[in-house]
Amino acid sequence: MQTEARVGVVVEGGGLNATTSSVVVEPQRQRQIGTASQLLAGGLAGAVSKTCTAPLARLTILFQLQGMHSDTSRLEKASIWREASRIVREEGVRAFWKGNLVTIAHRLPYSSISFYAFERYKNLLQVMLGVENQGENIGADLSVRLLGGGLAGVTAASATYPLDLVRTRLTAQTNMIYYRGILHALRTICKEEGFLGLYKGLGPTLLGVGPNLAISFSIYDTARSYWQLHRPEDSIVLASLACGSLSGVASSTVAYPLDLVRRRMQLEGAGGRARVYRTGLLGTVRQIIGKEGWLGLYRGILPEYYKVVPSVGIVFMTYEKLKQILSTMPES
């Protein structure tokens, strides 16, 4: 998200010292990229990343949901290898990509909006706070990135939430198929749970996605600017992959408990099952801690780490590369 796409992130970081001409050239190229190209790059980057890491994403979701309808004695026996073997044995290898179509349908607009909104919010905040040259005021720079990333996450999550909920329910299905596809799931949820059923878990989602993207974008933006300033000759692929992976680990660690609560609230009443959590966000957290302990809030964090390192790295790397490609194409 920073080289061509950053509307000045690498630009500002590199332009501050103006030590090399390559750092200055990239920002100029990025300004030529239109809104449509930026949205396309962000959407495709998210789709590619999610497809590559779909098996680990499904394992993470299944682990997150284990304590919801299981007693604590069964939870001690859970392992990544055992769960992966069960999926292959009972559902087949293709089941690792169960729900991937709706994941892509959700990730295309989500990534497009989040990347685009981050740039717009960041530029707006820079004007409002008077941060014209990035690097002159480190505290102001970091505040702009954190706030811009948080606002971008809330905007993207709010706009695409029903698809995220449907994705969770399709991915969580094992042997019994209750929802036959995206449209069937949307219709069934509206019929059985009402229109607001499509927004179950929105509260913890917004609480989680704000700091998640705030940390992710700010760490990536800062690390990528620093890398570009001191090693402008390095490959954009290497820099984006490394900085993206670092930002993914940091953001996931902070936001994971809310992500777990969100998943469980999204599954409330799914497939005609009885409700488990009836006391809202804080009550759900208390129930999880009471039944599974504090570590229950981090159930599935290991496959999440396995997933997030390549996932976030790939999404930023793909985004940067697409921006680089699109910036060289003639405008229509």
pLDDT band (50, 70, 90) for residue 61: confident
Is residue 317's pLDDT more than 70?
A: yes
Query: Residue 20 corresponds to which amino acid?
Result: T
Spatial CA neighbour of 108 closest among 33, 40, 184: 40
Question: Could you tell me if 12 and 225 are in contact, meaning their C-beta atoms sit under 8 angstroms apart?
Answer: yes
Task: Supply the pLDDT for residue 4.
Answer: 34
Is residue 332's pLDDT more than 70?
A: no
CA angle, 27 then 246 then 82, to 5°: 140
pTM: 0.69
Rounded to an integer, the average pLDDT of 57-71 is: 72
Is residue 3's pLDDT more than 50?
A: no
The better pLDDT of the pair 18, 99 is held by 99
Question: Could you tell me if 192 and 269 are in contact, meaning their C-beta atoms sit under 8 angstroms apart?
Answer: yes
Task: Supply the pLDDT for residue 135.
Answer: 56
Most confident range, picked from 73-82, 90-99, 168-177: 90-99
In the chain, % of residues over pLDDT 70: 81
Separation between Cα atoms, residue 62 and residue 64, nearest integer Å: 5
The better pLDDT of the pair 262, 31 is held by 262
Rounded to an integer, the average pLDDT of 163-186 is: 84
pLDDT band (50, 70, 90) for residue 78: low
Lowest average pLDDT, out of 14-23, 97-106, 235-244, 314-323, goes to 14-23
- The tens digit of pLDDT for each residue in 39-50 reads 999 999 999 998
Task: Supply the pLDDT for residue 69.
Answer: 55
Rounded to an integer, the average pLDDT of 65-71 is: 61
How buried is 269 (Cβ within 10 angstroms: 0-12 exposed, 13-18 middle, 19+ buried)? middle
Question: Could you tell me if 169 and 68 are in contact, meaning their C-beta atoms sit under 8 angstroms apart?
Answer: no
